[in-house]
Structure formats: structure tokens, C-alpha cells
Amino acid sequence: MSNNRITFLYVSFLFWAIIVSLRLFYWQVLSKDKFTFALEKQISSQGSVLPERGKIYANDDFPLVMNEDRFLLYAWTPQITQDFASVLAKIKPIIFNSEDEDRIELLKSNFSNEEKQWFLMKSNINSQEKEKIDQLNISGLQFEQESLRSYPEGSMSAQLLGFLGKDEVGRQMGYFGLEGFYQKQLSGLIGFEKNINGIFKWLEGADIEKEAKNGRDLQLYLDRSVQFIIEEELKNALTRYGAKGGWIVVMDSESGGIIGMASFPNFDPEKYYDYPYEFLSNPVISESFEPGSIFKPLIMAAAINEKLVNSDTKCDICSGPLQIGEYEIKTWNEVYHPGSTMEEVIKNSDNVGMVYVARKLGLEKMLDYLNNYNLTQATGIDLQGEMSPPVRDQKNWYPIDLATSSFGQGIAITPIQFITAFNSLANNGEVVKPRVVNKIISDKEEWHTEKEVVSQPLNPSSVNEITKIMISAVNEGEAKWAKPEGYSIAGKTGTAQIPVGGDYDQEKTIASFIGFAPADKPKFTMLVSLKEPSSSPWGSETAAPLWFSIAQKLFTYYGIPSTN
Amino acid sequence: MPVMITVLLLQLGVWVVLHNLVINTAITLEDLNNQANRYEKNIAQLNIEIAKATSLKTLAEKSQEIQLKPISEIINLDNSPLALVQESVLNQSKEP
């Protein structure tokens, strides 16, 4: 009997052991994932760790864009034990001013509305203000941290930098300029944090975390002193010449680095949402224009390079206006110079003389050169928003198109395309890709951007010849009165009519000057354009003096001595 | 028996001391870490303030406030020390 009882007990224990083992097998093996997930949900909380966005520095390591911790202040009304009016009275002197009266009224109505238990009281609160509010010890007030972009130089180079906004799901996203182009580099990688709660913290050890990787910093070619000079000069010039807008680009002649890029109207990147779209985009890379006479040196250089003309070649069609089909080509002042040399054609900015050059060059060669100057495609500058106006097929070019494009009308390009092509005249005939960023810097290493030669449309001897012609144009041309004395400058003025509805408006012009200096060993290439100047439509009376005034300051800044 | 109790008490004592040391070290490290984070944030904030205070924008505003003139204008002002110096230099150069 006792043996039976022992056997019974043994069997029943065995039975229960098998049942328990099977159940454990089910829990621990078959349903492992389900229960692990349920356990993790109970004992841990998860969240993402946001990386710090990369900063942007000028070439002297001065920060142009930094990150600043700011806070959003929320009210959680069930926890507010004090009278809301007294809460407002306490925090008002810290974060509100007289302009916020409407907002305070709105907050009061929010508080009296029982449906609104959680509402935003104020955004953009700095650390000191937060600390003062913390010291008041008011229950029910809660802060949420956010990282905002801070611009020590204010709106300087805003269109080049771009701005930081939000995407459709509320994540930070760079738009336009550098912020847009380098979004991936600047934004870094989001980290992952898993906090273990209670007793399990001791069992599991430390919090499990995948570290966030901060964004990479950018160091630019941009020189903030040069940028400051060109922005101030452009601002003053708009008033002085009554222009509607304008742009200035300064490029390092050798490397293609952008030393300065300014355009007006522009915007405040901290309040980008207050500005219309056209203020946000950078006209230097996104607006097409007909360059006018500043285009002439490129065509002349092409003809010299092909050995079709030289400085002394005489124009045999320059004695009067030229009829092409139903169109008549005239000079800008309707003064004609029979038998002009090519040097005089550039000096007098002679449209008829340029038609002579274009005819010598021929359409096929001209299109080849436009292609080699890289004017038929985007430059690939490291800024978001670059566009490239389409170029007509060869079969759609008519004799009048060949004629007008020789003096920069009927052909549309962006300012950055033009200065990139023109810079080849300052750089031994090489077209160099323009660049804004010099270095990309991470926590551990840094990368230099490489100089990239896109093409070489001209040989050095042709470049020397066109440079001499342009020096003579500056020394003896229309704008010679404004030129800084004792400096050798190669450049060209231009006044382009603006196409309106398929025709040209005689009153509306874009006045420009492009050049490089010192001409024998160029330090910088600069393009200055003013839109619709009202004091005078001519580039020689508006853009050229502005160019020379800036150049004088740059000579002093770079310590380039005068030969006088 | 008393020896065993003494050994046990000693072990307990060592354990308490070591445990306290570990906990104190952990707390101190945590404090230091928090302090470092706070200082890092303060430094970042100060860097922003320094950058704003030394920006060309601020310097230009300040120079306007105190009516600082560009050197080119100062040279051209009558009776300015620089103009006098320049004049004396020019006069010197005219001497035989």
C-alpha cells in the first residue's frame, strides 16, 4: 500500500513536472518574443536621442551658424494649484513684454476652457529665463527643450546659409543654401535610448543606448570681412542708384572658392517664416539673366583662341548699324567706329564689332565654347537650389541669335554660371567648379574639398591677350574715372535689357561689372549686378563704380599694394 | 565560536565599507558628470554670447553709436592728428 502511495506520488509529481516543463517550454521558447516584448514594455521606457546639428564656420573659424538650447513652456492645468492670474503675474516680467498682451489674454481664455488642459504658453525661452521660472517653483508649468539655430552675424549671408525648418512629420530639415545641400552631413544620426526601470535596472545593468552621432561641421571659403564689405556696399548702392535689387559674388580666382556672396532683398534666417518665397531663394544660383556686354570678353577670347582674330584685327562692318533680317543691330550710344581693332571693340563695347567676331567664329564653334565654358549646364556648386536655364538646340539658332548672343542678349544664364565661366580668364583658361565649403569636420577627422577643373576652353596665351584687352578697357573705357589708381584691373561693364513678354523693356536694365584683380596675378574675381537702377541705366555709371569701390577695400584688406 | 563570529563581523564590516565606497564613488561620478554637462552647456551658451558680442554686425553698430569714422575719412579731416602727420610727412618729402 505504502509502495503504491509512493508510486502514485512519484507519478503525480512527474506528471506535474512534465506539465510545468511543457508550459515553461511554451513560455520561454515558443512565445519568447511575445513575452520579451511584454516584459520590456513593463520595465523599460524607450526614446530617441537627438544629435547636435553641425555648425557652420567662416574661413577664420568664426561661427556663422551655432546651436542654442531653447525651451517651450507648457501649462498642465490639473497640476496648477495657484490662481492662474497670479501665475501669469509672476512669470510675465520674465518672458512677456508689452507686445504680448494679446497672447496673455489668449492664455487666460485657454485656462478657463476646461477642455484645454495642456497648452503652450511661450516658445523660444532661453536658459536664464527658464532658470528664473524654475526658481518660482510653480507646479503645473513644464518645459520642453528644443535646439534652435543661432546666427551671431544676424542675416549676413542668409541666402547662402539657408535655414532650418521642419519636414512634414515635424523633424528638423535644412532648406536652401548650405543647410539644404549638406542636410545629411549636418544632421548627424539619431541615437536610441532604453531606460530600465525599478529593480530590473540592477539586474540588467546600465541603460542600453545607441549613441547619437553629432552632425559634421562645415568650414567655408567665405571671408566674413569680405562678406560684410560687399553687403554694406550693396545695401548703400541700392539706395544710391535706386536699384530694385542686386547681387555681388567674389570668387577666389585660383581655387574657385566663394569668398563672398551677397544679394538683396534677403531675409533673417531666425524668422524665415515671415518672408515670402522669393526672398528665401538665392538669385545668384537660381535666377537667370541676360548678361549683356559683360559676355563680350568670353566670345572675344574664344575667337582669339581659335586664332580667328587678335587685338589688332580690324572690324570691316563697324561703320554703321547692321541689318540682320528684320532686326537692326546698333551700338549702345549709336556712335560707330569704322575699322575698329578688336581691342577697341571691347573698349567701346561695340555690339556691331562683336557681331563681326561671332560671324568669324561661326555657330558651331560658338556653341562648342558655350559648352566648354560650362554655360550649358549647372555648375554643381554646393548650394541647394541651383538651376540651369535650358539652351536651345543648334537647329533653333538663327543668324540674329548668333549676333545678339555675341553681346550677351538672347542668352540666359545664372550669375554663378557666368562668374564661373569668366573666372577661366583669370585662371589660365581653366574653368574651376565653384565651391562654398572648404572643410567638413567630424569629431574625429576632417575632409578638405578638392579643387575640380571642369574644362580648359582657352590656352594661356589667349588668356594673356584678352586680359590685356580688358585692362585697356578698364583704363580707357567709360568707367575709368572710378578705377582705383595704381592697380591693374581686367574687367568689363555691361548693361543688359530685361526681356518682358517676348520683347525688351528699354527702361529696365541689369547693370553689371565683372573683373579680376590684380590682373597679372588675380586674387579675386568679382561680379556686381544691379537690377533696374533708376539713377542711370548704365553699368559704367552704377555697377562699375560699385565694383571699384569694393575692390579698393579688398586691396587694403588683402594688403595688395598700389604701384603708385 | 567567538573566532568565527569575529571573522563574520569583520567580513560584514569590510563589506559595509566597500559597499559604501562603491556607492559614494558612483554618486560622486554621477555628480561630476552632471556638473560637466552643466558646464558644457554654460560654455556653449557663453560661446554664443561671445560670438554675438564680437560679430562684425555688433562691432559696426557699436562703432556707429560712438561715431567712429573710417580711417580714410579721418585722414581727410582738417586738423585731425593723422592729417597733420600726413601733411608733415609730405612737407618733409618736399624738402631738398
Residue A258: is its pLDDT beyond 70?
yes
Nearest to B56 among A66, A150, A224 (CB): A224
Chain A residue at shortest CA distance from B57? A153
Tell me the nearest-neighbour CA distance from B41 into chain A, angstroms: 9
- Cα–Cα distances (Å) from A482 to A127, A245, A479, in that order, read 51, 22, 6
Residues of A in contact with B47 (CB under 8 A): 63, 66
| pLDDT for residue A119 | 85
Judge whether residue A50 has pLDDT over 90.
Answer: no
Which residues of chain B make contact with A66, given a CB cutoff of 8 A?
47-48, 51
How far apart are alpha carbons A449 and A436 in whole angstroms? 9
d(CA B15, CA A560): 76
Q: Among A329, A327, A358, A322, which residue's Cα sits nearest to residue A342?
A: A358
pLDDT at residue A85, rounded to an integer: 83
Smallest Cα distance from A341 to chain B, Å = 40
B47/A69 touch (CB, cutoff 8 Å), yes or no: no
A297: left (phi over 0), alpha (psi -120 to 50) or beta: alpha
What is the arithmetic mean of pLDDT over A179-203?
80
Show the cell assigned to A439.
572643410
B89 touches A: beta carbon within 8 Å? no
Share of chain B above pLDDT 90, in %: 22
Q: How confident is the model at residue B88 (pLDDT cuts 50, 70, 90)?
A: low
* Residue with more model confidence, A28 or A525: A525
pLDDT of residue A206: 52
Domains and CATH numbers, chain A: 68-151 (3.90.1310.10), 224-558 (3.40.710.10)
Where along chain B do its domains lie?
Answer: 1-54, 59-96
- pLDDT higher than 70, residue A261: yes
* Cα–Cα distance, B84 to B72 (Å, whole number): 14
Contact criterion met (CB below 8 Å) for A249 and A231? no
Contact B45 A67 (CB under 8 A): no
How far is A125 from chain B, CA to nearest CA, in Å? 13
B62: its cell numbers: 557699436
Mean local confidence (pLDDT), A442-446: 89
Q: Which residue has the higher pLDDT, A122 or A489?
A: A489
Q: What is the mean pLDDT of chain A?
A: 89
Q: Does B3 touch chain A (CB under 8 A)?
A: no
Query: d(Cα A52, Cα A38) in Å, to the nearest integer?
Result: 33
Average pLDDT on A375-401 reads 91
Q: Answer whether the bond into residue A265 is a cis peptide, omega within 30°.
A: yes
Look at A192-201, A343-352, A411-420, A541-550 and tell me which has the smallest mean pLDDT: A192-201
Smallest CA–CA separation between B52 and chain A, in Å? 4
What interface predicted TM-score (ipTM) does this complex get? 0.71
User: Between A148 and B94, where is the model more confident?
Assistant: A148
CB contact under 8 A, A69 and B41: yes
Residues of B in contact with A232 (CB under 8 A): 60
| Chain A CB within 8 Å of residue B57 CB | yes
**Facing residue for B56 by CB, picked from A63, A150, A228:** A228
Tell me which of A207, A228, A556, A562 to substitute to probe the interface with B (most B C-beta atoms closer than 10 Å). A228
State whether residue A62 sits within 8 Å of chain B by CB: yes
Pairing of strands A217-220, A437-441: antiparallel
Judged against a pLDDT cut of 60, whether residue A6 lies above it is answered with yes
Nearest to A493 by CA among A333, A255, A369, A357: A333
Q: Do A127 and B41 touch (CB under 8 A)?
A: yes
pLDDT of res. A529: 96
Share of chain A above pLDDT 90, in %: 55
Report how many Cβ contacts below 8 Å link chain A to chain B: 37
Average pLDDT of A34-59?
82
Partners of residue A63 in chain B, C-beta under 8 Å: 47, 51
Which chain B residues are Cβ-neighbours of A562 within 8 angstroms? Answer: none
Residue A438 pLDDT level (bands cut at 50, 70, 90): very high
Tell me the three state secondary structure of residue A244: coil
Give the residue on A whose Cα is nearest the Cα of B58.
Answer: A153
pLDDT bin (cut points 50, 70, 90) of residue A202 is low
Look at residue A548 and tell me whether its pLDDT is greater than 90. yes
pLDDT digits (tens, 9 = 90+) for A322-368: 888 888 888 888 888 898 999 999 999 999 999 999 999 999 999 99
- State the best of B19, B43, B57 to mutate against chain A, taking most chain A CBs within 10 Å: B57
Does the pLDDT of residue B90 top 60, yes or no?
no
Checking if the pLDDT of A97 tops 60, the result is: yes
CB atoms A62 and B52 under 8 Å? no
pLDDT interval class at A45 (50, 70, 90): low
pLDDT at A157: 93
Question: Quick one: pLDDT at residue B95?
Answer: 41
Shortest alpha-carbon distance between residue B11 and chain A (Å) = 23
The predicted pLDDT at position A145 comes to 81
pTM: 0.81
Q: Which residue of A has its CA nearest to B52?
A: A152
3-state SS string over A456-476? Answer: CCCCHHHHHHHHHHHHHHHHH
